[in-house]
Amino acid sequence: MTRRLPATLPEAQPAEEPRMSEIVRTTLTTCPYCGTGCGVKAETRADGSVTVAGDPDHPANFGRLCVKGSALAETLVADGRLLHPEIEGRRVAWDEALDTVAERFGATIREHGPDAVALYVSGQILTEDYYVANKLMKGFVGSANIDTNSRLCMASSVAGHKRAFGTDTVPGAYEDLETADLVVLVGSNLAWCHPILFQRLSAAKVARPEMRVVTVDPRRTATAEIADLHLGLEPGTDVALFAGLLGHLERAGARDTEFVADHTSGLEAALEAAAPFTDLAEVTRVTGLAGADVAAFYDLFAATEKVVTVYSQGVNQSSAGTDKVNAIVNCHLLTGRIGREGLGPFSVTGQPNAMGGREVGGLANQLAAHLELADPVHRELVQGFWNSPAITATPGHKAVDLFDAVADGRVKALWIMATNPVDSLPDADRVKAAIAACPFVVVSDVMASTDTAELAHVLLPAQAWGEKDGTVTNSERRVSRQRGFMTPVGEAKPDWWALAEVARRLGWGEAFAWESAAAIFREHAALSGHRPEIARDFDISAFADLSDAGFDGLSPFQWPRRRGEAAANGPRRFFADGRFFTADGRGRFVATVHRAPRSTPSATLPFRLNTGRIRDQWHTMTRTGVAARLSGHIAEPFVEIAPDDAERLGITPASLVTVGNGRASVVVRALVTDRQRPGSVFVPIHWTDRFASAARVDALVAPETDPVSGQPESKATTVAVARFAAAWYGFAIGRTVPERIDGDYWARARIAGGERVELAGLVAPAAWSDVAVHLFGDGTSLTSFADARAGRFRLAAVRDGEVVGLLYVAPEPVEVARDWLIGHFEAGPIAAAEAVTLLAGRPGAEVEDPGRKVCSCFGTGANQIRKAAAAGCRSVAEVGERLGAGTNCGSCRPEIARLLAEEEHVVTPVAAE
């Protein structure tokens, strides 16, 4: 459903085209997307427009923003926002909605006990929201049934850190990636998923060419463009690779004898567990890597003191994720390479506030302030501080288990906040059915219409980025403010307020009586320093007495900041002194054993399915999907498949492909590429039923989890791949396109002033004009070219003298100059007389077809970059000088480098020079 906003929300403008009225307010805030946590400067002008730029003083990004951050203002659009509370689709006042939530949750607790209710929250919410949610559930409801979509993101890192360090501590700082001599990126497509961190790393490599970068990933992603060595290992074999490294380091004499003796325990057992990989041949057999590559990596690691190992979803999203983390950490403990400048293990989180959620105990097996649910002293500390009636000692359901509990009726009332589990959880169709059958479901969201919101009994409108106030913590433990600079739309409220109002109605008003996010932050800070004799890593008690004005002006800081402690001069790190938070104060080696992914390829399901992100979209596209600029890069769901596999299956580039298994299937575009390992395929996670006919890839993912962390294995499901036997393919652009498109295959994407749609069908329709009317509406006159025997049709729909839609149909994937056509639509109204020109589908020889969009900021296409290469550009920088491409946010630099490489021109470093 599309809703119009009241006049309080200004029309957003692209960052590069600001209206030139006077700036009336500048607000420093933080990007709401990835865990890099970039500082954003939002400028509000007198005419109400907003422009964004990087905050030059923010220590995460020093003024840079990637394409998603650069396009933030374009996502501040009116359409689609949830404006008012609703019960069963009926608009109600906040009081009625909150009364209903409190009554139903209260009745369920009274009748079935506290474990019959649950909260499922998100790494998108602010720390203050998270704190209140956790306090309500664990301290007052008396259940730990609160989990978060961060379980899907970094729970294995949390578990691995706790096993090794005693606490969930990321020891280092971003600066370490710049000062290291070797950076190993394991299961991390930093270039697309943490673009500004990637740019910092790339720039450091340009400045110090002797720096080495190794990428460890089954896919050769954009990140590998800066790698000196890429290790494209078999999915799920990281433990074998790092167990082999541990043994190699020991034999090579790289052990830091003093550090290991004085500050660690468990080495012998870890070495014994690693013994099967003493023989390099065994490592190569399991990982599928070339022996020379593995040996080169091991020698490089052994010989380099300053090593940072970055790990992300490729490590975490695995049924052996926790062991993978510990296999990596073991190598850093053995060499004593932890806690000092330029070295250490480094988990980078996917979401903007995964770390903040960890700080407040947002996971079902954690307590607030990095304290332990299982520890009675910790429980007593928190319960005493909260003065709460109950505190649970039993861990709640982790995400996958939580929805099992919803499915079988153990959980009867569920509140989902800022996340879309119908699309994002493994076995997503089963999750959808579970939510649909749940007796009472509350959804708090910014958007009115998501696949999850459709199933809610009560909808609560949440404040969006630009409206809400609070803090987030990035991957290097840096707490930054998100600040509101716009009037909240409709009746949108902060999530913490809705939670506190329900708590008050349940009889706990005194403990939930905050007036502001600042008051919650003070309480959170005070709890972190309460009873300091109980040692823990997370402590921000220096801010326990922060004034409201101090909160307003709070500068980004890295924790810990203990009471009375002054701000650090430079990055803060943990464990350089060899003191850990385990019972004996020693860092623990963990004996890790290689285990293959749970699902094994078979004759019927021969491929491994890897899932992940693309450069310009975020999660289920509820926000980034509204920005035309962000849809320009990749406008359609796709599957990456290796050339040999594609050929064997009769799959040609740009044809359609079915990827499926017993759980579900998706239909996606074939991207045939040698970046993909034979036997594996990759499908992105972003497309939902709002944007494509069948592309909810998580419906295919098996609900297999890591036994320690509970994190699902999202990168190794087994699937079958086959040609989608399309009888016809279509491409359309329309000023307006219906919310629900009919057809066997469709995928839609926003363009400025309309939408683009890819189409296909198993059977040709009786009349193509019917398709055009369905897409572009009645009351149009149609101009068409048709070659019925060849199955080719082209239609232009004209209304009131203007072209309002174009449809191109062919028996094979439609070959028209999409970006050229879109450029016409985006330039403004098109006179009917131009229809004939546009129906040609491509420009005449005198006009350049820009080709597939590569640089979203400057709208530069692949053809333009190739042409620049042919004209003599030999580096990313030279392409930038000529075309501008890559000189704004820089997210496209790896792709420019790859295009130059494909043209067999010399490629110089990816970073800006």
Question: What backbone phi and psi angles, to 5 degrees, belong to 142?
Answer: 90, 30
Taking the complex as a whole, the smallest distance from the CB of residue 861 to ligand SF4 amounts, in Å, to 22
Told to check if 66 binds ligand SF4 by CB under 6 A, we report: yes
Taking the complex as a whole, the smallest distance from the CB of residue 33 to ligand SF4 amounts, in Å, to 3
Q: Are 308 and 174 in contact (CB under 8 A)?
A: no
Taking the complex as a whole, the smallest distance from the CB of residue 196 to ligand SF4 amounts, in Å, to 4
**Which stretch, 62-70, 279-287, 430-438, 775-783, contacts ligand SF4 (CB under 6 A)?**
62-70
Taking the complex as a whole, the smallest distance from the CB of residue 2 to ligand SF4 amounts, in Å, to 26
Q: Give the residue with the Cβ less far from ligand SF4, 38 or 857.
A: 38
Told to check if 65 binds ligand SF4 by CB under 6 A, we report: yes
Taking the complex as a whole, the smallest distance from the CB of residue 28 to ligand SF4 amounts, in Å, to 14
**Which stretch, 13-21, 58-66, 149-157, 775-783, contacts ligand SF4 (CB under 6 A)?**
58-66
Q: Give the residue with the Cβ less far from ligand SF4, 66 or 456.
A: 66
Q: Give the residue with the Cβ less far from ligand SF4, 65 or 443.
A: 65
Taking the complex as a whole, the smallest distance from the CB of residue 464 to ligand SF4 amounts, in Å, to 15
Give the pair of three-digit tokens for residue 874.
């030999």
Told to check if 68 binds ligand SF4 by CB under 6 A, we report: yes
Radius of gyration of the chain (CA): 27
Distance CA 300, CA 282 (A): 20
Give the pair of three-digit tokens for residue 180.
């290291």
Buried-exposed string 631-665: b where 16+ CB fall within 10 A, e elsewhere: bbbbbbbbbbbbeebbeebebeebbbbbbbbebbb
Give the pair of three-digit tokens for residue 282.
């065994």
Taking the complex as a whole, the smallest distance from the CB of residue 393 to ligand SF4 amounts, in Å, to 37
Distance CA 627, CA 69 (A): 12
Taking the complex as a whole, the smallest distance from the CB of residue 891 to ligand SF4 amounts, in Å, to 8
Q: Give the residue with the Cβ less far from ligand SF4, 33 or 440.
A: 33
Q: Give the residue with the Cβ less far from ligand SF4, 203 or 868.
A: 203
CA dist list (Å): 94 to 48, 491, 659? 28, 8, 44
Told to check if 71 binds ligand SF4 by CB under 6 A, we report: no
CA dist list (Å): 494 to 32, 74, 499, 546, 864? 15, 22, 9, 21, 46
Q: Give the residue with the Cβ less far from ligand SF4, 808 or 858.
A: 858
Told to check if 560 binds ligand SF4 by CB under 6 A, we report: no
Taking the complex as a whole, the smallest distance from the CB of residue 66 to ligand SF4 amounts, in Å, to 3
- Interface map 618-657 toward ligand SF4 (x if CB under 6 A): ----------------------------------------
Taking the complex as a whole, the smallest distance from the CB of residue 16 to ligand SF4 amounts, in Å, to 15
Taking the complex as a whole, the smallest distance from the CB of residue 76 to ligand SF4 amounts, in Å, to 15
Taking the complex as a whole, the smallest distance from the CB of residue 354 to ligand SF4 amounts, in Å, to 12
| Length reported for the chain | 913
Q: Give the residue with the Cβ less far from ligand SF4, 61 or 392.
A: 61
Q: Give the residue with the Cβ less far from ligand SF4, 122 or 658.
A: 122
Q: Are 524 and 382 in contact (CB under 8 A)?
A: no
**CB-nearest residue to ligand SF4:** 69
Cβ neighbours for 201, distance < 8 A, ≥ 6 positions apart: 177, 178, 183, 190, 213, 226
Give the pair of three-digit tokens for residue 832.
């009917």
Give the pair of three-digit tokens for residue 643.
């050339």
Query: Which residues in the 311-350 window bind ligand SF4 by CB under 6 A?
Result: none
Q: Give the residue with the Cβ less far from ligand SF4, 33 or 559.
A: 33
For β-strands 182-186 and 307-311, DSSP reports them as parallel
Determine if the peptide bond prior to 560 is cis (ω within 30°): yes
Query: Which residues in the 353-372 window bind ligand SF4 by CB under 6 A?
Result: none
Please give the full DSSP string across 155-196, using - where no structure is assigned.
HHHHHHHHHHHSS------THHHHH-SEEEEES--HHHHSHH
**Binding-site size, ligand SF4 (CB under 6 A):** 14
Told to check if 414 binds ligand SF4 by CB under 6 A, we report: no
Told to check if 223 binds ligand SF4 by CB under 6 A, we report: no
Taking the complex as a whole, the smallest distance from the CB of residue 831 to ligand SF4 amounts, in Å, to 39
Told to check if 910 binds ligand SF4 by CB under 6 A, we report: no
Taking the complex as a whole, the smallest distance from the CB of residue 481 to ligand SF4 amounts, in Å, to 14
Q: Which of 10, 48, 59, 69 binds ligand SF4 (CB under 6 A)?
A: 69
Q: Which residues pair with 797 in a beta bridge?
A: 782, 805
Told to check if 771 binds ligand SF4 by CB under 6 A, we report: no
Please state at what angle helix 127-134 crosses helix 517-529, rounded to 10 degrees: 70
Q: Where does residue 281 rank: exposed (0-12), middle (13-18), buried (19+ CB within 10 A)?
A: exposed
Question: What backbone phi and psi angles, to 5 degrees, belong to 837?
Answer: -60, -45
Q: Give the residue with the Cβ less far from ligand SF4, 263 or 615.
A: 615
Q: Give the residue with the Cβ less far from ligand SF4, 2 or 555.
A: 555
**Which stretch, 63-71, 173-181, 354-362, 438-446, contacts ligand SF4 (CB under 6 A)?**
63-71
Q: To which residue do tokens 């043209």 refer?
A: 903
Taking the complex as a whole, the smallest distance from the CB of residue 492 to ligand SF4 amounts, in Å, to 22
Distance CA 516, CA 389 (A): 24
Taking the complex as a whole, the smallest distance from the CB of residue 657 to ligand SF4 amounts, in Å, to 29
Q: Give the residue with the Cβ less far from ligand SF4, 31 or 267.
A: 31
Taking the complex as a whole, the smallest distance from the CB of residue 213 to ligand SF4 amounts, in Å, to 18
Distance CA 92, CA 90 (A): 6
771: left (phi over 0), alpha (psi -120 to 50) or beta: alpha
Q: Are 451 and 423 in contact (CB under 8 A)?
A: yes
Query: Which residues in the 11-50 window bind ligand SF4 by CB under 6 A?
Result: 31, 33-34, 36-38
Taking the complex as a whole, the smallest distance from the CB of residue 185 to ligand SF4 amounts, in Å, to 15
Q: Give the residue with the Cβ less far from ligand SF4, 222 or 868.
A: 222
Cβ neighbours for 904, distance < 8 A, ≥ 6 positions apart: none
Told to check if 479 binds ligand SF4 by CB under 6 A, we report: no
Q: Give the residue with the Cβ less far from ligand SF4, 29 or 215.
A: 29
Told to check if 75 binds ligand SF4 by CB under 6 A, we report: no
Distance CA 815, CA 821 (A): 12
Q: Which residues pair with 309 in a beta bridge?
A: 184, 345
Told to check if 481 binds ligand SF4 by CB under 6 A, we report: no
Give the pair of three-digit tokens for residue 252.
């090579």
Q: Where are the alpha helices (DSSP H) in 125-266?
A: 127-134, 155-165, 175-179, 190-193, 195-207, 238-251, 257-263
**Which stretch, 150-158, 194-202, 588-596, 727-735, contacts ligand SF4 (CB under 6 A)?**
194-202
C-alpha neighbours within 13 Å on the C-beta side of residue 715: 27
Told to check if 396 binds ligand SF4 by CB under 6 A, we report: no
Q: Give the residue with the Cβ less far from ligand SF4, 286 or 854.
A: 854
Q: Are 291 and 280 in contact (CB under 8 A)?
A: yes
Distance CA 455, CA 462 (A): 17
Q: Following CA atoms 162, 166, 167, 170 in sequence, which dihedral angle do they give, to the nearest 10 degrees?
A: -70
Q: Which of 126, 191, 196, 333 binds ligand SF4 (CB under 6 A)?
A: 196
Q: Which of 139, 160, 195, 244 binds ligand SF4 (CB under 6 A)?
A: 195
Query: Interior CA angle at 433 toward 431 and 434, to 5°?
Result: 65
| Sites of contact with ligand SF4 (CB under 6 A) | 31, 33-34, 36-38, 61, 65-66, 68-69, 194-196
